[in-house]
Each structure stands twice: as C-alpha cells, then as structure tokens.
C-alpha cells in the first residue's frame, strides 16, 4: 500500500509540475498606437494598413504587412512566425524611385497600351490591304511590326510573371 501511495504522490507531483511549466508566456502590455509615425522602404514612403506601435522605447511594425512589402512570404504555425524568401528564377531590379507595386502597375499600363496600339494597327492594316497602293513591301513591314510588338508584349508578360514570383502580394491587389 505504501508503494501505491508513493506512486500516487509522485504522479501528482509530475502532473502538476508539467502543468506549471506549460503555462504560456503571454503577458498583457500597454502600447501606444503611433499614427504619427511614417515608414519608408528604400527611401520611398509607404502607407501601412496597420499603424506602428511604440512600447518600452521600441517601435513595432506589423510583421505580415512589412514582410510582404519586402517580398517575403509569411506563415504562422504553432506559435512560430516564419519569414521566407521565395525561390525566384530572376531577381527583378525595381527602377529607382518606384515601389514594386508602382512598377507592377507601370508594366500593366505599358502592356495595355501596346496591346491597344497593336490592335489599332492590325485594324488599319486590314483596311489598307484593299487599297491599290498597298504593296508587298507594306505587307512585309506590317508583319515585322506585328511580330516585334507581340514579342515586346511577351517580354512584359514575362517581367510581370517574374515580378509576381518575387513579390507575390502584388497579385492580391
């Protein structure tokens, strides 16, 4: 009977010790929301959806929002915040003075303009083919122009694709 009681007491000690050690390290604090703080990335002012916090002499930024701006993938699992750099085929150099979002928007606008110009030129080409002054040389030049325009559009599509690989958050906007 003494062995059973000793075993029971030992079990209780281990059971309560494990519970005491397993307490979470969550602590409530009072921090200041600093809407007056501004954030710059590579010298360019950016707007955050969530304001920075100030606590105990340090400033804190929203991890997901800032990390995605910097091209990192963010994951949270089992209490661990994981930031990873996605594997990319090409490292797109963003032109100075532009954010990735601005460069993405510029590429989209450039592509749309090229597609519109190409479509207008093709329509004019179709109308011109019936003109008696239309020559074989005109036809050859038009084909070269169409091919060059289509290659430029493909190049922009590739740049957009590589940019989205490097900055996956761009596709969410």
Measured CA to CA, the distance from residue 84 to residue 72 in angstroms comes to 5
Reported in sequence order, the residue ranges of 47-126 that DSSP labels E, i.e. its strands, are 53-55, 58-60, 73-77, 80-84
- pLDDT band for position 9 (50/70/90)? low
Mean pLDDT of the chain: 82
Record the pTM.
Answer: 0.48
What are the structural domain ranges in the chain? 2-84, 100-172
* Residue 26 pLDDT level (bands cut at 50, 70, 90): confident
């Amino acid at each position: 009977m003494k062995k059973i009681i000793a075993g029971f007491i030992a079990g209780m000690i281990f059971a309560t010790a494990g519970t005491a050690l397993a307490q979470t390290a969550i602590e409530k604090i009072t921090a200041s929301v600093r809407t007056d703080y501004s954030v710059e990335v590579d010298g360019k002012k950016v707007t955050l959806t969530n304001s920075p916090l100030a606590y105990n002499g340090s400033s804190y930024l929203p991890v997901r929002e800032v990390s995605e701006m910097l091209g990192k993938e963010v994951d949270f699992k089992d209490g661990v915040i994981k930031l990873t750099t996605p594997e990319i085929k090409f490292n797109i150099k963003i032109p100075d003075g532009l954010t990735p979002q601005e460069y993405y928007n510029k590429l989209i606008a450039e592509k749309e303009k090229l597609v519109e110009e190409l479509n207008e030129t093709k329509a004019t080409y179709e109308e011109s083919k019936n003109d008696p002054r239309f020559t074989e040389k005109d036809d050859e030049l038009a084909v070269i122009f169409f091919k060059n325009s289509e290659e430029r559009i493909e190049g922009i599509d590739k740049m957009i694709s590589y940019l989205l690989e490097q900055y996956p958050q761009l596709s969410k906007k």
